[in-house]
Structure 1
Amino acid sequence: MASIITVHNSLKPGAPVPFVPKEEGNVSWYACGPTVYDISHLGHARNYVSTDIIRRIMMHYFGFKVNFVMNITDIDDKAARRKRLLDLEKEKPYNPEQSHNLGVEAFLAYAKTNLPLLQPVDNPAALDENNYKERRDAAYSRVLIGGTLSGEGKPSDAEAKLKMHIANMDMAAQSLKNGKLFEGAGEILLPYLDSLYKETIDTSDRTIFTDLTQHMERAFTDDMDALNVLQPDSTTRVTEYLPQIVTFVERIVEKGFAYEANGSVYFDIAAFEKAGNTYARLRPESKNDKALQEEGEGSLSKSLDGKRGSGDFALWKKSKPGEPYWASLWGDGRPGWHIECSVMASEKLGEQMDIHSGGIDLAFPHHDNEMAQSEAFFHQCDKGEHVWVKYFLHMGHLSIAGSKMSKSLKNFQTIQDALATTYTARNMRIVFLMSHWNDEVEISPDMRKQAESWEITLDNFFTNIKARLVEAGAATSGMMTLSLTKGKPASELTTKLEQTKKDLDAAFMSSFDTPSAMQVILRLVRDANIYMNDRSQPDPDLQTVEVVTRWVTKIVGILGLDANARPPYDGLGWSPAGLTAITNVDPKAAVHSYAVVFSSVKEEVQGLNLSEPSVLALLDQQSPEAEFAELEKSGERDPEKLALPYVRAVSRLRDELRSIVLSASLETKTKQAIFRLSDRIRDYDLADLGVQLDDQPGKPSLLKFVPAAKLIAAREEKAALAAEKANQKMEAQKAKEKAEEEKWGRAKLAPQEMFKGDKQYQEWDVDGVPVKTVDGSELSKSQLKKLRKEWEKQKKLHEEYLVKFGGGT
């Protein structure tokens, strides 16, 4: 099967290519992990969740044994050093004037570097917090309203970066105005303080750098756990591989593919290509892109002296004061960014790996440089060009208004915030599943709505099918386990299941086409729903339906949509969204609340003192405690199955009460008590435990396990609608009463008097209808007709008044 899987390989752009690992059944995989200096955001989620989905499909659908290695870049001297300098600055005894002067200096320095248009050449007045807003609006108005700086084309990362700098300046200007420099001006202070004091930091104490990265690595791991991303088989950290990095660089130098200059070591692209190798195989068009080259070198790019070729990049860089350092043949220095992954991946996976993955923004120069230096390390003159990576998988990035989401642009929502306010791990994963892993994604309201609809459809499907299966097994000690009987004629639904399996297989084989897979799953679920709701057949075949449900359960488990699912994913349905992984379930604790409800309901039913034999039999014979004990003894740990005996016992009592209240000769007071108890059991006792009762005429109530929050929200919404309806009814009654009051108030006036007080008239006829205006003019026929009509109306109303309140007949 593995030989016919195809995959988009960045090394061979275009159509997907056959995926053939170097060792049948086994896949070696290295994934570029994060540089841990800040909280992870949704862009990271897009990368690592998409990677996790492909990994899960390979392992749990196609059956590959995957050795998954991911690195942590735990050297980030700039962020850690700047944080230390800011902390030290806060401890200084500044008076308000000194603090303000420091802020102004940082403000001007930041503007000069990042927003030069704020200080136009033809305006000699110095920029300050007071004239900042006016100058900002004049210089960057196009960017502020969502356009480009030039006014042409569409906004990109350049505009996103300008917006970030403007936002930093906005906060700093406000902080300068209110005298609270350190509360809002940190982003402009950090680079300024670094320029002043960078070299004063004693970097022999590496905890300055590692304390921050260790903290952020723990936060990253927590985020990945919250997103149900499988942990790597191996995690490598740069600081644990420094001796190997030095040795790796030495070997490249020995082979003539790198050279030392002023204490640094650079990769020699010309020598590499002269030996028959290819440089920039991923992005050949970017080979001479100086901006990308400098971005790839980061802070190292400012002093790359002694290079032979403009594109040569640092393997080892001489450390300057304020930077961490390690010993090497070339003196104290630090590894170049790209060499880190080359060494760690090669140490763990050898001279060739099947898959290397990462975000698309890393393709050049990071991944291209990784490959070049690794292939130089393993190069053998008599064997031609070495292939270090067979398949490069690049995850499409997440964008906002056309710009990639990134920490450097500060246009991101953290994973923690997203999970707390907007998403569950499940619906975030569904959003990503609905896009191809290698495509750019910009999450739109329509995409969110589509993902929500998909999730609700499956959620309802699982809930309804489990309820039907519970109903079918009502006479047994627990939920029945059903399976298709061999030799049984295939139904239409069975045929559709078999076709769905083929369609899903084709989708996964076609470069892990999850958008198609999601539609395939949805189509089968809808077919099953139609089958279950088909009133033309007396009883649907629950055995077939269960087989379908278990297959769907397996696939959503493989895709990582259930935090509690584990291979081989042979359960029935998924856990409620947002539920953390269930481990070491204590059965008695899991059913305690259900047992309390049963005990309470049983006591209240006994208190009704009913004589009906059916009720007395249930009170005497039901033993959910014994059923639970058997389940516990069998090793069952599914909370729903453990709770089922108690839920079913409560539901049976309620069903029987509802049955006798309509047929038995009971006192009105007793009937009312039964109705109240029945409603409370359904709407409160069980709903608060996450159990929904659906009443079925002539049949036992259907039991559905639904998140309690959902049922409570529905109850509150229903109550709010009822209250609103009652309020509207009351307001309508008040309006009616007010209108009635106003009507009879007007009706008191006799028609002969209704126009007498109007000063625009001076003469009236015997009925009190005006005939002349105040200036002596006679009214026209149309005016008289109109006034007479009003008079007749008032006459009728007044007569009604006299009849209603006396004085007339």
Structure 2
Amino acid sequence: MATITVHNSLKPGAPVPFVPREEGKVSWYACGPTTYDLSHLGHARNYVSTDIIRRILMHHFGFKVKFVIIIKARRKRLLDLEKEKPYSPAQARDLVFRAFQAYAQSNLPLLAGTGQGELDEHSYQEQKEKAYGSVLAGGTLSGEGKPSDAEAKVKMHLNNMDSAALALKENSGFEGAEEILLPYLDSLYKETIDTSDQTIFTDLTQAMERAFNDDMEALNVLPPDAVTRVTEYVPQIVSFVEQIIKKGFAYEANGSVYFDIAAFEKAGNTYARLRPESRNDKALQEEGEGSLSKGLEGKKFPGDFALWKKSKPGEPYWPSPWGAGRPGWHIECSVMASDKLGEQMDIHSGGIDLAFPHHDNELAQSEAYFHECGKGGHTWVNYFLHMGHLSIAGSKMSKSLKNFQTIQDALATTYTARNMRIVFLMGRWNDGVEISPDMRKQADNWENTLDNFFTNIKARLAEAESAANGIKDLSLAESPGKGLTHELEQAKKDLDAALRNSFDTPSAMQVILRLVRNANIYMNDKNSEPSLQALEAVARWVTKIVGIFGLDATAKPPYDGLGWSSAGAAAPAHVDPQTAVKPYAAIFAKVKADVQALNLSEASIKTLLHQQTPEAEFAELEKQGERDVEKLALPYLRATSRLRDELRAIVSSAILEPSTKQAMLALSDRIRDYDLTDLGVQLDDQLDKPSLIKFVPAAKLIAAREEKAAQLAEKARQKEEARKAREKAEEEKWAKAKVPPQEMFKGDPKYQDWDADGLPSKLADGSEVPKSQVKKLKKEWDRQKKLHEEYLAKFGSTAV
């Protein structure tokens, strides 16, 4: 059997063989979100890509995966408390103004050097342009190189200032100024907050955790097998830190506990295994520690990081041997992951921005905890999988940069869950992804190609009445479509090879697209009758793979259906056949009545009106236990379509009264364009064959109908405008032609005398008209003479 390889951050370079500790089983720990606000598309990139790999391991390669995720909870409470105070409008404005100036001083130092006087909401725009205009225009702070996160942060801070300046101008209180108020309130009041009741920190984060779970469900991300939360693990964290101290790899200082990197390495271990080049990066160290990096006292070496931090007034705290404090930012993951998965795990994953210091520190403290003297270094994680950044304009999408779109907003305005997942599938999970218009277009084309393929296959199978007994175990060697079945077998091999190559989903997506396009060519070949068996085999295999990739929210393993549900559709909890078919039965009854009202004499239509019994066909399906709404609806749709097809046949062959023919055509169009379209049913007319019945989302069909109507209306408008323009030109032509040539120049103030034919002979100043001008005037006179003669010939001399 071929080997699975994976990009492992612990061994940079080419993918390495993936060999789990236990055959057929994979233990996996993923860093979850810090639930202090709504999740954004950067989170979606991380967790959807993680979900895709997890699904591939489970449902393609057959591993039993134990998947654990951590939920972290941090949220400032001060703004919520401030909003409860009885501020007058003037007092609220004063607080926002002070926060406005403090925010600028702290985050936008160049504003202070513009020489424009005190910064306020009125002078802000001019000072902003003078200080940071080059950055806003796409330049850099240094004037060299390309913009990066530093410039993105400047733009973020300026956006916050823009909102606050507008709030000040409109005197709207705190509305719009939240981002500048949070740090200012923190500096004013943080130490006065009573944190003995820790619910003030956790109530809102629990709501945010629920919102995160809702987002993941909306994105069709599988729920974890276990969820851990920091607040539930504080005693275990304290014990974990005590053990590290006992082994000599940590020390207490002023109520805090720090990891001793030097002692760890002296014992034969390696620190910063993931990012050795970043071990002395102070900025990354401080960013990784967050607020814990402030006020660090008693550290032996700058790189030593907090395992337990003494709490300051206003911060949450728990009791410990070292006094009231709280867990270090990294220790949380080590304790919870080890509790659920033991002293070693197969996979640890997270965003690439967590590699250093977060994951490197996790590794160090965990391997220190499990270290046994004389036995060499301990391996806590075998494979580290880091998901690449999602980028916008070259800068990673992150909450800290405020350059994000929430998942809720994205799903409401821009994406479906399927479309978003397709975008991520088109990029390697460990590479950065910058969503561009081209990438969106490729994703849309991929989705539409498969959507149309599934629709056409299901319609053809329904037409052949073989959908209910589809081919699940097809002997490809005996299939009439040998060329296509050979391509299917090759596609299976190519896709498996792509997924074994570090879960190469972009290549897998191309394999699927290539197979579907070849199947479409085969299906539409007019020179041969395609094998429905071969086509269905392709469609069922593609259905299985898109199910494994999580592209159908209603599909369940082993994904042996045919096609996918409408994007965004949810699986009905219970289908009542009678209720489900009511709209289709009502349309058939309406069409039947309208056809009867035509009083046609043709025997073929009378036979259809009296002999079709869709009710009996439906009753038999219901009796058999069928609950697929599309299959239950088919008897009524076929009966309706047959009536329409017969109307069209009669119109093209029979001699009819014009009014009858017009009524039949109008009814035929209404059935196709309104009655069935509004139910999500598309009829494709076929030459000498029954119309093909396709199930397509009603919204899509209605949008296409409205677009067609708009195009026709625009064409009619343009035609009408052209007609009016022609009429106006014709009217202006004959109005001009009505004037005799002898009169055309008279009354012109440029002249004062004319000859017998009405041609100017003297200019207004009494001078003779120049010969060159006379020649030109004579040509105009001749043209008018000819035009006037046309007028007289058309309207007669009495019209003058």
TM > 0.5: yes
Aligned to 1:34: 33
Residue number among 732, 736, 749 corresponding to 2:726 in the alignment: 736
Alpha-carbon offset, residue 101 of structure 1:
3.0
3-state SS of 2:76 partner = helix
Instruction: Give 3-state SS (helix, strand or coil) of 1:4's partner.
Output: coil
Counterpart in the other structure of 2:266:
274
Match of residue 109 from structure 1: 102
Which position in structure 1 is the counterpart of 2:88? 94
Partner residue, 2:607:
617
Quote the residue 1:550 is aligned against: 540
Q: Which runs of 4+ in 1 moved over 6 A?
A: none
Residue 80 of structure 1 aligns to a residue whose secondary structure is coil
TM-score (norm 1): 0.95
Letter in 2 for 1:106: A
Q: Which residue of 2 aligns with 1:227?
A: 219
The alpha carbon displacement at 1:575 in A equals: 1.2
Partner of residue 665, structure 2 = 675
Match of 1:508 among 499, 511, 522: 499
The residue type equivalent to 1:492 in the other structure is: G
2:425 corresponds in structure 1 to 433
- Of 692, 698, 701 in structure 2, the residue corresponding to residue 708 of structure 1 is 698
Q: Could you tell me how far 1:564 is from its partner in structure 2?
A: 1.3
- Is residue 318 from structure 1 mapped to residue 318 from structure 2 by the alignment? no
Paired residues of 1:265 and 1:317 also in contact (CA < 8 A): yes
Question: Using a 3 Å threshold, how does the CA distance of structure 1 residues 792 and 127 change in structure 2: closer, same or farther?
Answer: closer
8 Å CA contact 2:79–2:185 kept in 1: the answer is no
Distance 1:129 1:759, change over 3 A: closer
Do residues 370 (structure 1) and 358 (structure 2) align?
Answer: no
Match of 1:499 among 490, 493, 515: 490
Where does residue 184 of structure 1 map in the other structure?
Answer: 176
Unaligned runs of 5+ in 2: none
Which residue of 2 is the match for residue 14 of structure 1?
13
State the Cα distance separating 1:338 from its structure 2 match: 0.5
Alignment of 1:717-796 (within 5 A): 717-775=707-765, 778=768, 782-796=772-786
1:521 aligned onto 2:512 = yes
Q: What residue in structure 2 maps to residue 82 of structure 1?
A: 78
Listed as ranges, the matches of 1:385-784 within 5 Å are 385-473=377-465, 481=471, 484-485=474-475, 487-488=477-478, 491-537=482-528, 539-775=529-765, 778=768, 782-784=772-774
Q: For residues 626-648 of structure 1, what are the alpha-carbon distances to aligned partners after superposition, in whole Å with 9 as ceiling and x for unaligned?
A: 32233333333322222222211
State the one-letter code of the partner of 2:448: I
**What is the deviation of 1:666?**
4.2
Structure 2 CA distance for aligned equivalents of residues 355 and 586 of structure 1: 44
Residues 1:138 and 2:134 aligned together: no
Secondary structure at 1:151 match in 2: coil
- Per-residue CA deviations over 1:735-794 (Å, capped at 9, x if unaligned) read 111111111111111122222333434554443333554456555665444333322222
**Contact 2:32/2:70, CA 8 A, preserved across alignment:** yes
Shift of 1:587: 2.7
SS state at 1:430 partner: helix
Unmatched runs of 5 consecutive residues or more in structure 1? none
Q: Which residue of 2 aligns with 1:254?
A: 246
In 2: Cα distance, 1:483 partner to 1:26 partner: 29
Q: Distance in 2 between matches of 1:588 and 1:310?
A: 72
Cα distance, 1:437 vs structure 2: 0.5
Deviation at 1:523, TM superposition (A): 0.8
Greater Cα offset, 5-14 or 419-428: 419-428
> Hey, what's the Cα distance between the residues in 2 that align with 1:23 and 1:305?
44
Partner of 2:228: 236
Q: CA deviation at 1:287?
A: 0.8
* Corresponding residue SS for 1:66: strand
Q: Is the Cα contact below 8 Å between 2:470 and 2:536 reproduced in 1?
A: no
Amino acid at match of 1:113: S
Query: Matches of 2:416 and 2:670 in 1, distance apart?
Result: 31
Following the alignment from structure 2 to structure 1, what is the Cα–Cα distance between the partners of residues 484 and 467?
29
Q: Secondary structure at the match of 1:703?
A: strand
- Residues 161-180 of structure 1 deviation map (CA, whole Å, 9 limit, x = unaligned): 12111122222222223322
Question: Which secondary structure state, in structure 1, belongs to the residue aligned with residue 433 of structure 2?
Answer: coil
Distance in 2, Cα, partners of 1:450 & 1:477: 31
Structure 2 CA distance for partners of 1:237 and 1:706, relative to 1, 3 Å: same
Which secondary structure state, in structure 2, belongs to the residue aligned with residue 381 of structure 1?
A: coil
Deviates more, 1:136-145 or 1:349-358: 136-145
Identify the residue that residue 59 of structure 1 maps to in structure 2.
58
Is the 2:29–2:349 Cα contact (8 Å) retained in structure 1? yes
Q: Distance in 2 between matches of 1:480 and 1:364?
A: 52
Question: CA RMSD for the aligned pairs?
Answer: 2.0
Distance 1:585 1:312 in 2: 61
The C-alpha deviation readout for 1:21-48, integer Å capped at 9, x for no partner, is: 0111111110111010100000001101
Q: Could you say what secondary structure the match of 2:294 adopts?
A: helix
Contact persistence 1:80–1:208 (CA under 8 A): no
1:507 shift after superposition: 0.8
Cα distance in 2 for residues equivalent to 1:302 and 1:788: 95
Provide the C-alpha distance between the structure 2 equivalents of 1:627 and 1:240, rounded to a whole number of angstroms. 59
Question: Residue 49 of structure 2 aligns with which residue?
Answer: 50
- Given that 1:84 and 1:208 are in contact with CA atoms closer than 8 Å, whether structure 2 keeps it comes out as no
On the 8 A contact 1:478/1:645 being kept in 2, the answer is no
Match of residue 171, structure 1, among 163, 172, 184: 163
The answer to whether the 8 A contact 1:799-1:808 is kept is no
Matching residue's letter, 1:502: K
Question: In the aligned structure 1, how far is the partner of 2:13 from the partner of 2:477?
Answer: 46
Instruction: Give yes or no for contact 2:89–2:171 (8 Å, CA) kept in 1.
Output: no
- How far is 1:361 from its partner? 0.1
Amino acid at match of 2:5: T
The structural deviation recorded for 1:346 is: 0.6
Quickly say closer, same or farther: Cα 1:459–1:107, change in 2 above 3 A.
Answer: same
Distance 1:165 1:729 in 2: 53
| Contact persistence 1:483–1:543 (CA under 8 A) | no
Secondary structure (helix, strand or coil) at the match of 2:606 reads helix
Question: How many Å separate the matches in 1 of 2:336 and 2:470?
Answer: 51
Q: Percent of pairs identical after alignment?
A: 74
Determine if contact 1:479/1:641 at 8 Å carries over to the other structure.
no
Superposed CA deviations along residues 683-718 of structure 1, whole A, max 9, x for unmatched, are 000000111111112111111111111111111111
Given residue 158 of structure 1, which amino acid in structure 2 is its aligned partner?
A
2:207 maps to 1:211: no
Aligned 8 A contact 2:476 2:482 in 1: no
Do the aligned partners of 1:483 and 1:546 also contact (CA within 8 Å) in 2?
Answer: no
What is the identity, as a one-letter code, of the residue corresponding to 1:85? L
Give 3-state SS (helix, strand or coil) of 2:175's partner.
Answer: helix
CA–CA separation in structure 2 for the residues paired with 1:665 and 1:124:
88
Indicate how the Cα distance of structure 1 residues 486 and 806 shifts in structure 2: closer, same or farther if over 3 A, else same.
Answer: closer
Return the alpha-carbon distance in structure 2 between the equivalents of residues 323 and 479 of structure 1. 65
Does structure 2 retain, via aligned residues, the 8 Å contact 1:470–1:479? no
Q: CA-to-partner distance for each residue in 1:251-302, whole Å, 9 max, x for gaps?
A: 1111111111122111111111111111110000111111111111111111
Q: Secondary structure at the match of 2:77?
A: helix
1:184 CA displacement: 2.2
Question: Distance between the aligned counterparts of 1:560 and 1:261, measured in 2?
Answer: 49
Deviation at 1:553, TM superposition (A): 1.2
Measure how far apart 1:368 and its partner are: 0.4
